[in-house]
């Protein structure tokens, strides 16, 4: 399993305020980015896995929505998370 409890805690501890603050926008964006990177690697090996491709597209959309929310709410936090995770617009 690629996403264990410890991995989630480290993601939320690094990008959120604490490991128990799972509702922060930065933490959720970081978690989606981790999952998207994993699925992208999976799809490079399994090109005909269309169900995974669909879930990847949905995840990218959810991350985009969270990024748009963060951009409207606080532009400095948006720029920081984009730079930290290496996400391009």
pLDDT in tens, 64-80: 999 999 999 999 999 99
In the chain, the number of structural domains is: 1
Q: Is the pTM of this model over 0.85?
A: yes
Count Cβ atoms below 10 Å from residue 31 Cβ, excluding itself.
20
CATH number at residue 52: 1.10.287.10
Contact, 4 vs 34, CB < 8 A? no
Kindly calculate the radius of gyration of the chain based on its CA atoms and give it in whole angstroms: 14
Closest by CA position to 59, among listed 82, 43, 36, 28? 36
Residue 78, domain extent: 5-85
Mean pLDDT for 10-36 is: 92
pLDDT of 18 reads 86
């Amino acid at each position: 399993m690629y996403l264990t409890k410890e991995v989630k805690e480290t993601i939320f501890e690094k990008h959120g305020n604490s490991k128990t603050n799972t509702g922060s926008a930065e933490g959720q964006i970081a978690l989606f980015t981790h999952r998207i990177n994993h699925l992208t690697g999976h799809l490079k090996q399994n090109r005909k896995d269309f169900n995974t491709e669909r879930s990847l597209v949905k995840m990218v959309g959810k991350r985009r929505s969270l990024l748009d929310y963060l951009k409207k709410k606080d532009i400095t936090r948006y720029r920081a998370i984009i730079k930290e995770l290496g996400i391009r617009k």
